[in-house]
Structure 1
Amino acid sequence: MRLNSRLLLVGVLVFIFPLLFVWITQNFFTTAYHNINTSEKKRVSLIQDSISVALRSSSEADKLVSDLIDVYKKENSDLTKIRVVEKIDDNFVIIQSADKQLVNTNEKTDQLYRSLPLSSNGSSLIVESIIDGERTWQVFRSVETLDDRSMYIFSEHRFGLIDSVMAARRQQSYFGLSAIFVFLILLAYWLNRQVHWKAGYDKMVLQLEDRDMFSNMIAHEFRSPLTAIKGYASFLEESKTLSKDEVRFASNIHKSAERLVVLVNDFLEVARLQSGKLKIEPSEVDMSDVLAGVTDDLRGMAEEKGLKLIFNRPEKKLMMFTDPARMIQVMTNIITNAIKYTDSGSVELECVKIPGEVTVRVKDTGTGISAEDQQKLFAPFTRVGGVDTSKITGTGLGMWITRQ
């Protein structure tokens, strides 16, 4: 169903819309040409009407017709020829013309004049043709004057300029339609890709949700028996009836269970972070108290390695607005890493406040981190420091969780 809807949308965008635009444009130009023709015919008819009326006037007809011809020739760029022809005996003589050299000469092409009946209904004969590549109208009208003279009005109109303008407009329109067609193809492609990406994204989100739910379930299922194993191992370590080897075995079980608990807790944190379900409850806390508490908790771990864990507590309180539980978790991860990667010497903490922020510095006497390794410090499942990581416990998730 979705595929059919997508194909229908693409078909509408790529085929229906362009065809609709072409049809609308074609109809527009057809109507425009029709209206232009109608308007031109009315204009030509008005020119011949006015000359016809002037010819029928009894006084100063020649001067009036001459003036009209001069005005029309000047004001109408399409008017190439205009003349008045009179039938005298069997000849057709030009008595008025825009070209004054033709006055009182015989009309060379008189066949049409001979075929025109004298009529008083004021109609004109329009002969449409192509002359020198231009659309041309040759317009004839017969006029019978009040003194029974047989007159003919002839005008020639060439519409090359108008047609070239309309052709340019048509070409521009089709260029525009081509651009719209290309745009619609690109739009259809983009929409199709968006739908495809959206489907892939939705599928990936569902897979991630299933993965997170599975990880949570597995982690919770592991944590309960591991807690019980830790408890029983601790109980066996304190037993007075076991041999030294058995106590050592119980101690190994206890340590392994603790490492697994840390691993499970890290996986739970990752799952909560990736699903956006990690709760943050900020409040006013004194960073000095946070660091003092973390230092006390980790001092035993440092002493097991023969390290000094030092916290240079400032005299003033360093208040900040944060989640105390998450801050303890962050500082625990950082200081634990410092202890793990320091074989001898000390790990020293200090905390200072500068305008707008609190800076915590952790200094140790370990091997240090190269510039290359610093780029990977917060990557998940990554160990840095240039030491034998097989001797260092952990999941490689602590610093990634800290950064998140």
Structure 2
Amino acid sequence: MRRLTPRNRNVSASGRRLPISRDVRLTKKVTALTATALVALAGGLLAPDAARADGSRLPLPAPKTFSGAPYAANPTNPLAGGSWAVNNGFWENGRGLYTDYRRAAGTTKAYLARAALQPSALWLTSTNSFTRTKVPDYLRTVNPSSDPAKLVTVAVFGLWPRGEGARHSPLTRRQQTHYRTWIRRVSAGIGRSRVLVALEPDLAITANRGSDGVRDPLVRQSLTRFAAQYFHDHNPRAAVYLDAGASDWLSPGQAADLLQRSGVQFTRGFSLDITHYTRTSDNITQGAAIVSALAARGIGGKHFVIDTADSGRGYTYAQWAARFGTSTYDNSRRCSGAQPTLCNALGVPPTWQVAQPAYVQALGLTAVQAQTAARDVDAYVWLTRPWMLNQASPYRHTKAVPAAQFTPFGSLF
């Protein structure tokens, strides 16, 4: 496939960055968000609610509960059983998805509920959660009774303190020290809580070669390795998954090499499709190939999770670039109808019961893929937020409603 050469654009200090080629490709992750950085929607759609900067006073949505035992093919799945916590607008300051859902009515409210009432990740960055109280405050907010069976999902994102546009500039010693201190503080905040940690989305950028790569890949991979080992040593109930790109990005061998250098041996496994929109079925096949590649390197028994938040109309980076160019990849287009197209639609809801017949049928999985999912996939999870502008900020009602309205998986919600 031909190399895709993107057009440059500005990058903010909070983490927005340049679009990059398929070797690295564009990302759609959450950037360093603070309560003061979130802006209100035009026209005052969402006025401030009874919320504070470090949390929310809004009622807590019911957690998502599951019945049944782990699959026999994956008996040690740490995400099985219990319940999964649902965020009630933490750090949204009354201007986000959950508040919009609460104020909506009729069919609009029903559509918004499809996303607002699902477990999704809070993104912890080295700026918004450096203070020691931030992580425990969030855990208390979404799990006020300290229920040991309730799972909380977070993404830990700190390798790009100056934004990915500055990836060519090596990290300073001070930045490396800051990162390690931050990881220790996040770990202390997690303690013995049951937490799913998606560690360093876009880690796969450090596997890239050429002009779109980073100047110090081994330094950043060593920091991720430090984080993986630190969580392993200090957080016995944290299930950690390292980013491994997506089915249209690294080859399985490239992903396995990256994961090995970045400490996958200390984790439960890896994550896929956090920063892409590819089909879940393709990522099942990709993940199985990475598991095999890791085993061939002496790292056996790994599992993976797949981000399904925005893969309802799954497509590849190359397909998008061929039609729209490379500079708009983050800001996925709104769907306007039920026919498949390159647009933003919710994927299947989060669950660890990935081999349920309804999911298998809805995703069009083959028998082999269904068996692979039951054995190797710990869960389908929501790590990205397709209801946000550029998948980062601010919240957009005009993205949230059609993403839910035109999902092909409405029967699963």
> Do Structure 1 and Structure 2 share a fold, with TM-score over 0.5?
no
Q: Does 1 or 2 have the higher relative contact order (CA < 8 Å, sep 6+)?
A: 2
Q: TM-score, normalised by structure 1?
A: 0.22
TM-score using structure 2 length: 0.21
Higher strand fraction (1 or 2):
1
- Larger Rg over CA atoms: 1
Structure with bigger helix share is: 1
